[in-house]
Amino acid sequence: MALGDQPLMPLGVIADVIQRWRETLAPAVAPVHGEQRGHPLLLDRAIWPRVQALAPEANPRQALVDLPVEVVVAPDNDILLDIDTPDDYARARAL
């Protein structure tokens, strides 16, 4: 899952997440920067039914509660930056 409000997502991080999944076949793979998990979040097809069974208002991360999430260390915090407000947009443009 890649969020549309994260336009600064590095392509290398996407490739790293996919590669880690290919190596491990983990149920979920996500990049991390520091202690924070970000996007894109790769969900193995085997856990799609868990996500689809969630209530519409639920956060998809609830499907991962008891599953291991393989992580990829991201080189910077671009995986955490998103644009939700005009101020966020102005900060992103400055980058």
Q: What is the pTM of this model?
A: 0.81
The whole domain housing 33 covers 11-94
Q: Is the pLDDT of residue 31 over 90?
A: yes
Question: Residue 1: inside a domain, yes or no?
Answer: no
- Give per-residue burial for 30-43: e unless 16+ CB within 10 Å, then b: bbebeeebbbbbbb
Q: Is the pLDDT of residue 10 over 90?
A: no
Q: What is the CATH number of the domain that holds 36?
A: 3.90.550.10
Q: 3-state class of 13 per DSSP?
A: helix
Q: In angstroms, what CA-CA distances link 85 with 2, 81, 90, 93?
A: 19, 12, 9, 13
Question: Residue 35: inside a domain, yes or no?
Answer: yes
Question: Residue 2: inside a domain, yes or no?
Answer: no
Query: What average pLDDT does the segment 50-78 reach?
Result: 89
Instruction: Give the chain's mean pLDDT.
Output: 88
Instruction: Please give the helix or strand (H or E) that residue 70 lies within, else none.
Output: strand 69-73
pLDDT in tens, 33-42: 988 988 888 9
Q: Is the pLDDT of residue 51 over 80?
A: yes
Question: Residue 4: inside a domain, yes or no?
Answer: no
Tokens, residue 69: 């999430």
